[in-house]
Amino acid sequence: MMVSMPVNPIPLPPEDEDLLAAFANLGHGEPDLLDDPVGLRSWWSDLGGSAIPGRSTDLELLRALRRSVRALALANNGVDVELEEDTWEAIPLRLVLTGGPHLESTGPTDLTGTIASAVASALVRSSARATWPRFKACPGPECEFVFRDRTRNGSRRWCLMSECGNRAKGAAFRARAARD
């Protein structure tokens, strides 16, 4: 079954995985836009999202969604994680079959509802593609940067080998040396 855009389409980046990575990486640098409704609104607008009326923003729901997207990306990178499934239940979506199957928001059209619906729709479409296992997060401590593995054989593990990869390999070397 193919999932298409909502009836009232929200302009999205060319690839759903790009939206998911951009959303998951909101808190990777300073400042964390999920601490600032004005910055979040600006980020959404910069992505091509439509202007959203109203000021209500449930930042805690969006933070929980971000944790969940990161956890799914870590799982794609071989990391054992626990998923917060109840977070996704808070997003009011329904499956619409007329006009081609698609997800449609049934909740408020505030900034939180719009972003959450777009992220959930992108996640459903992305996870149905053969490229889904290449949507990964860096397993480095305190990193979890989300990226798309574009290597030929799909073996990329770290956001940057020169940083997180070297730290992990150095820590593994020191642990082996301490055991000997």
Architecture of domain 16-179: Orthogonal Bundle (1.10)
**What predicted TM-score, i.e. pTM, was given to this entire model?**
0.81
Q: Which two tokens stand for residue 122?
A: 């992108």
Mean pLDDT of 138-142: 88
- Residue 54, phi-psi category: left (phi > 0), alpha (psi -120 to 50), beta (remainder): left
* Residue 161: per-residue pLDDT: 83
- Which of residues 156 and 175 earns the better pLDDT score? 156
Q: What is the pLDDT of the chain when averaged over all its residues?
A: 82
Q: Given pLDDT bands bounded at 50, 70 and 90, which one contains residue 56?
A: low
